[in-house]
Structure 1
C-alpha cells in the first residue's frame, strides 16, 4: 500500500492536520518540486510493560540456555587484560 504524497506547501499549510494523522498511525511521502524528499512516519513505541500471562506464554517456547557454556562464551569474548578506566 503506497503512502499518500504531500508537497512541501501542503505540509506547511496543513501541518496540524497532517501531524494528527501521523500521530494516528498514517505515513506520508513528502515532495518538493515533484521529487520525493522524505517520509513522515509515526514513531515506533516500545512497550514498557508485558503482562505476566503474556510473558509466561512467550517464555514457554524460549530456548534453554546452558549457563556454564554462556559464561564460557562471555569469558572468551572479554579481554582479560582490560584496565578499569576509573582506576588510577
Structure 2
C-alpha cells in the first residue's frame, strides 16, 4: 500500500516540522490542570473535480469546499490543507 506508507511519511514529516514532541514535553505540566481535547488531523487538498481528504488512510472525495467543511465539523477533526 503506497498510499498508507506515504501518509505515514507525511505525518512524520509534519510532526518534525511542527515540533510535536517538544510541544508534548513542554505542555506536560499544563495538561494535568487542563483537560486535553483529542482531535484527529486530516490532510485535505484540491482535485480536478473538487476536494479530497485522507482520513485514517482512506481518501474521501467532496464536490465543494462547503461539503468538506460540514464533514469536518461532523467528525470533529482538524484539516491540514496541502497546495494552493
TM-score w.r.t. the length of structure 1 is 0.23
Higher share of residues assigned strand: 2
TM-score w.r.t. the length of structure 2 is 0.23
Higher share of residues assigned helix: 2
Structure number, greater radius of gyration: 1
